[in-house]
């Protein structure tokens, strides 16, 4: 039996989606991490990845000015840090220091990556498009680093457990089953 759902909460029905942490730089080169659940690959060649950010967010202005960002994929064991980076504004606090996350230098962009994450897409801003009440930041991926054991034959290792957001402060992860068809 089908029932009507609340249109204003539509994105809840598309969850769980992987919660990633995007890092970006302020004008002094200090790193701000923001948790993003709305993101997707959008082109193979060139390799483009989109993230949706509301204009009110501190990171919106930072990415617009610095024209780059890094996408960091984080394990479920660090879910509290994911939630922390999505719950506070970098305008008021230093989220890297307060979360205990640590940074390392990227290779092709100035923005640093988060060491505790297992994969990192270094992106240069390809374009930004206002769509409704969010901005779609389209990044061209110029370099990818990852933990040596995170992927096997370019597929996520069974032992890896990414972090998935369900909505309203609730998270889950994937099963380690793999069904090949």
Q: Is 125 in the site for a copy of itself (CB under 8 A)?
A: no
Per-residue binding string, a copy of itself, 62-101, x by CB under 8 A, is ---------x-x--x--xx--x------------------
Helix (H, G, I), strand (E, B) or coil at 127: strand
Q: Is 166 in the site for a copy of itself (CB under 8 A)?
A: yes
Of the two residues 32 and 50, which places its CB atom closer to a copy of itself in the complex?
50
Of the two residues 4 and 92, which places its CB atom closer to a copy of itself in the complex?
4
Q: What is the CA radius of gyration of the chain?
A: 16
Segment near a copy of itself (CB under 8 A), from 27-35, 62-70, 91-99, 123-131? Answer: 123-131
**Vertex 129: Cα angle to 126 and 132 (nearest 5):** 155
Of the two residues 26 and 124, which places its CB atom closer to a copy of itself in the complex?
124
- Return the residue of 30, 40, 89, 97 that touches a copy of itself, per CB under 8 A: 40
| Minimum CB distance to a copy of itself, residue 154 (Å) | 5
Q: Is the bond preceding 30 in cis, omega lying within 30 degrees of 0?
A: no
Q: Pick from 48, 55, 58: which is nearest to 24 by CA? A: 58
| Beta pairing partners, 69 | 123
Half-sphere exposure of 21 (CA within 13 A, CB side): 36
């Amino acid at each position: 039996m089908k029932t009507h759902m609340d249109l204003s909460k539509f994105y809840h029905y598309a969850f769980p989606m992987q919660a990633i942490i995007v890092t970006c730089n302020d004008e002094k080169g200090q790193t701000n991490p923001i948790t993003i659940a709305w993101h997707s690959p959008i082109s193979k060649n060139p390799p483009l990845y989109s993230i949706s950010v509301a204009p009110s967010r501190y990171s919106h202005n930072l990415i617009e000015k610095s024209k780059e960002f890094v996408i960091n994929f984080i394990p479920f064991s660090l879910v509290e840090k994911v939630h922390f980076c999505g719950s506070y504004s970098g305008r008021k606090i230093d989220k890297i220091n307060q979360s205990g996350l640590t940074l390392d230098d990227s290779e092709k962009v100035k923005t640093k990556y988060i060491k505790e994450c297992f994969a990192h897409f270094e992106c240069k801003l390809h374009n930004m498009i206002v769509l409704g009440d969010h901005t779609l930041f389209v990044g061209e991926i110029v370099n990818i680093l990852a933990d040596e054991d995170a992927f096997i034959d370019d597929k996520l290792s069974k032992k890896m457990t990414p972090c998935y957001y369900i909505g309203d402060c609730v998270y889950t992860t994937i099963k380690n089953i793999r069904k090949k068809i």
